[in-house]
């Protein structure tokens, strides 16, 4: 049996590099590689993309849209790691844990949009609580999300590791205009009527995320029971209740799994999702979606 052919368009970026590093170790796929001198040549890219059974787009938004115009082979499947297609009705949102229907759509569809990193933590917490009517779709939720600086790509990595200034030693809040590019998918996938109030924060560590929402008027045990039941059959998702202590945002680095921590009291509850922004927040999720789309075991090649 022929191995599926996989091509990574945008291999030089942070996400593309890690996907390539992982897939190069796989024996069950054939990685198509482009000549370095032709990496930005549209004719060569088009030829290779249309030879592939599956293409990863690891590109900026506009470049991903342009890349899609090069794919004319109706058999070629695509996973887009950019924001470009996450709310597009012709694409499937690549988060299989939300429901059996979500998983089946990923398995059967040709175009899958990989979730955003901050959006992953938000949706994993909020979607089950909306479906269970703990949170009303009309609620304006508040969320803050810590990320390591690798989430900012090559330029930010260079700033932190080679050009570090005084302000980079402390957490930095960004997205101050409440127009962060992940907000649209947070709202749409969860079925919310309003985008959340969202404060992303980048800090002086390489990888790992802690995305937190707050819920008023419910007991933490009630919230824990719903989330633990929702994800009880998901091998990558673990749900815990925590009474005291501290929560570290880098606890899940170098893994593709995700922990959900529920804490608070009988009237005010917080839910924090812990995961790796380059793992479950990007590359791990993309490989998980590839496995489903190509008929492999969903967990093949993942770091659990």
Annotated catalytic residue, options 58, 117, 190, 283: 117
d(CA 107, CA 291): 9
Q: Where are the beta strands (DSSP E) in 221-257?
A: 237-241
d(CA 213, CA 223): 12
d(CA 245, CA 125): 21
Q: In what order do the strands lie in the sheet with 5-9?
A: 30-32, 5-9, 54-57, 77-80, 111-113, 92-93
Report the number of secondary-structure helices (H) and strands (E) in the chain: 9, 13
Respond yes or no: is residue 117 known to be catalytic: yes
Cα-Cα-Cα-Cα torsion 91, 180, 201, 79, nearest 10 degrees, comes to 20
Which residues touch 8 (CB under 8 Å, ≥6 apart)? 16, 19, 20, 23, 31, 55, 56, 58
273 neighbors 246 (Cβ within 8 angstroms)? no
Cα-Cα-Cα-Cα torsion 88, 91, 97, 99, nearest 10 degrees, comes to 90
d(CA 111, CA 129): 27
119 neighbors 85 (Cβ within 8 angstroms)? no
Q: Please give the positions annotated as active site.
A: 117
């Amino acid at each position: 049996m022929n191995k599926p052919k996989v091509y990574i368009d945008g291999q030089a970026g942070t996400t593309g590099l890690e996907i390539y590093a992982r897939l190069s170790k796989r024996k069950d796929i054939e990685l198509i590689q482009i000549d370095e001198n032709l990496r930005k040549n549209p004719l060569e890219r088009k030829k290779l993309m249309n030879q592939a059974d599956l293409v990863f787009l690891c590109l900026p938004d506009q470049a991903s849209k342009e890349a899609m115009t090069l794919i004319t082979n109706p058999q070629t499947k695509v996973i887009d790691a950019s924001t470009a297609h996450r709310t597009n009705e012709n694409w499937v949102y690549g988060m299989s844990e939300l429901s059996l229907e979500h998983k089946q759509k990923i398995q059967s569809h040709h175009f899958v949009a990989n979730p955003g990193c901050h959006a992953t933590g938000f949706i994993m917490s909020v979607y089950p609580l909306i479906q269970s009517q703990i949170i009303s779709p009309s609620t304006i939720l508040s969320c803050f999300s810590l990320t390591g600086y690798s989430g900012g790509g090559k330029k930010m990595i260079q700033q932190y590791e080679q050009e570090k200034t005084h302000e980079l030693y402390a957490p930095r809040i960004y997205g101050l205009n409440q127009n962060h590019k992940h907000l649209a998918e947070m709202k749409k996938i969860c079925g919310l009527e309003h985008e959340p109030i969202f404060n992303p924060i980048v800090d002086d560590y390489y990888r790992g995320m802690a995305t937190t929402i707050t819920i008023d008027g419910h007991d933490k045990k009630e919230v824990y029971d719903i989330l633990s039941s929702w994800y009880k059959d998901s091998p990558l998702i673990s749900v815990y209740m925590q009474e005291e202590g501290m929560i570290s945002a880098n606890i899940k680095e170098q893994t593709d799994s995700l922990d959900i921590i529920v804490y608070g009291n009988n009237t005010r509850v917080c839910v924090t999702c812990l995961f790796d922004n380059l793992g479950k927040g990007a590359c791990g999720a993309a490989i998980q979606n590839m496995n489903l789309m190509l008929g492999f075991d969903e967990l093949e090649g993942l770091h659990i």
